[in-house]
Amino acid sequence: MADDPDVNDAYALKSPEDVKALYQTWAHSYDTAFHDGQGYQLPREVAAGFLAGNGRGPVLDVGAGTGLVGQHLRAAGINPIDGVDLSDDMLRVADMKGHYRHLMAGDITRPLSLKGEPYAGVVSAGTFTFGHVGPGALQHLLDVADTGAVFAISVNAAHFEADGFGPALEALSDRITDLNFRQVRIYDDRADEAHRNDMARLVLFRKA
């Protein structure tokens, strides 16, 4: 793997061990080389969707990474925010920004053993994508959310179709309400041509 990973490396991941290894390498340059250099605007779109749904804290940021969604939420006055991510290295970068109450290493493809009150909001940018997380994790997030909790979760549009997110959301119809979708660009015009027009499905709903 190259010293400076990119989105193609991220999409090619096959296991949690691969994820940890990639983000250990990427953590130090993620904000500058990827967020700034590639025009990664998905965290802003997720935060905007959450705020438009009248989301409030406490919020769980799923796949928090270096804290880009938390940064937008705190700027809008949302607090407290907790974050969970598979990569300790990414979480160390997020911790330095001071936007989070608690940051926890965890695998959301398994049931989460989080302490404290249920969350009034759940957000996620860039985690439900190729090489990362499929729709089965949604049930684990619902388990730690309070009734009425606002969800704003991005899903790579191609991944949404390929991995069956539509049927999975239908199967959760007794647990969620007010389901709607927005199509958003993952990157702005700074992105390379191969990914400049990559799209995500912003999945918005409340826990029933």
pLDDT tens readout for residues 130-184: 556 889 999 999 999 999 999 999 998 988 898 899 999 999 999 999 999 999 9
CATH classification code of 7-207: 3.40.50.150
Confidence of residue 1 (pLDDT cuts 50, 70, 90): very low
pLDDT above 60 for 77: yes
Q: How far apart are CA 101 and CA 60, in angstroms?
A: 10
**Percent of the chain predicted with pLDDT > 90:** 56
Q: Read off the pTM.
A: 0.87
Q: How far apart are CA 203 and CA 181, in angstroms?
A: 5
pLDDT above 60 for 74: yes
Per-position b or e across 19-29, b if 16+ CB within 10 A of its CB:
bbbbbebbbee
In 3D space, the residue among 49, 32, 98 whose CA is nearest the CA of residue 70 turns out to be 98
- The two tokens of residue 94 are 């997020």
* pLDDT winner (highest mean) among 119-123, 155-159, 198-202: 119-123
